Amino acid sequence: MPDGQVMEWIIEILEDENSAYGYEKFTWRLRRRYGLTINKKKVYHLCREMALLWPQRQRKTVYPRRLPRNGVITRPNQLWQTDLT
């Protein structure tokens, strides 16, 4: 299947549904509506080429649990930790 034809179908899906789809939902729609056997990575490449993708969300940093730097834990119940979230 030529890339131009798949791009036209993606644009048709956008015009019909008026939705902000991601590449995985476009892939699902192309498979269901047109009976294509197409990989989601191919659809991602085509959507990126047409500038249809939203920016990726930034992941929040996970801070590690801090243990005391000045001591060595040698026996049980010597260090207690709590989480106040």
Q: pLDDT-derived band of residue 84, with 50, 70 and 90 as boundaries?
A: confident
What is the predicted pLDDT for the residue at 55? 84
Cβ atoms of 40 and 24 within 8 Å: the answer is: yes
Write down the pTM of the prediction.
0.62
Report the pLDDT averaged over residues 51-73. Answer: 78
